[in-house]
Structure 1
Amino acid sequence: MNDIELGHLRRCVELATEALDAGDEPFGSVLAAADGTFLAEDRNRIAGGDNTRHPEFELARWAAQYLTPEERSTATVFTSGEHCAMCSAAHAWVGLGRIVYICSSAQLGDWLAEWGVAPAPVKSLSVNEVAPNIPVEGPVPELVPQVRELHRKLHSQST
């Protein structure tokens, strides 16, 4: 992982923090071109009641609208947390390339269980269980503590 990629992941943490500050769950994502150039970003926006407003899903929609199939296939989605099943499917359906995540779905599940948080209504699956041909990298250990702390703050507020 190079400095540009770590910069994109740090931006994901900033976006996740913005999401938490806005009353959303702390997730943030960045879409980059094959050469590492920033293309788009988003954060979680589910507080309004639409639980499909995940940043990874929004970036898949953005990519389908603005990028060619070749550009999509060589792009990378950097994200604070591993894609859920819905976002993994959207990523695969629009033909996006690599995913780099800070914390895995398994890590998040372990944290939530530790804090006594009820499980989500959808089974937690790894990206490759949903989309087996997507190249995936993660977790990124040096940033995991920051993401864990954001989720701890979210769930300490809701108890």
Structure 2
Amino acid sequence: MMTEANPTTTATPVDQVHLRRCVELAQEALDAGDEPFGSLLVDAAGVVRLEERNRVGGGDETQHPEFEIARWAAANLTPDERRSCVVYTSGEHCPMCSAAHAWVGLGTIVFAASGAQLDGWRSEWGQGPGAVAALGIDRIAPATPTRGPFAEFTAALRELHALSLGRTQA
């Protein structure tokens, strides 16, 4: 897995379509007063089964889109279906979401920006670390295949996170 602050991986055309939608969902979350994160669950046939965005603005900090996807998948998909799914997400899973993903048995995670990138931006803007350490997915769910981060999404996500912290310039 690649989680360094300077991504060099290029997204496939399919990845780009789904990751763009994740960035749109992250914008929707920000517009609704939530932190800017968005995710999709895509099945083996390429069908988007679920779209979700961050919903922590109400005070429940566990309302991450990746966690909701894991819950939905556990309730609605067979173990084989879950293994063949791909979760696309604007930001690398936090430890809670990585664990939920692994416990439910979901397949590959494709993320636009890494936890290391977000930590770097926060540091650059004089913000302290987040409430939970930004451990890479590989530290929490080492058997889960991952792809990301992708340079083509860095500027848009950096701007969304800057806005979420009340910064006018990224």
Q: Classify the TM-score, shorter chain.
A: over 0.9
- The answer as to whether partners of 1:5 and 1:36 remain within 8 angstroms in 2 is no
Structure 1 residue 4 displacement after superposition: 2.8
Greater shift, 145-154 or 85-94, is seen at 145-154
Name the amino acid aligned to 1:111: W
Q: CA RMSD in A?
A: 1.3
- Which residue of the partner structure matches residue 7 of structure 1? 17
1:5-154 equivalence runs, <5 A:
5-154=15-164
**Percent sequence identity over matched residues?**
56
Task: Name the TM-score, length of structure 1 as normaliser.
Answer: 0.96
Aligned length: 158
Which runs of 5 or more structure 2 residues have no equivalent in the other structure? 1-10
Which runs of 5 or more structure 1 residues have no equivalent in the other structure? none
**After TM superposition, where is structure 1 displaced by more than 6 Å over at least 4 residues in a row?**
none
Structure 1 residue 140 displacement after superposition: 1.2
In structure 2, what is the Cα distance between the partners aligned to 1:11 and 1:29?
A: 8
Name the amino acid aligned to 2:50: A
Task: Name the TM-score, length of structure 2 as normaliser.
Answer: 0.90
Structure 1 residue 157 displacement after superposition: 5.2
Structure 1 residue 85 displacement after superposition: 0.1
Structure 1 residue 35 displacement after superposition: 2.5
1 or 2 for the larger relative contact order (CA 8 Å, sep ≥6)? 2
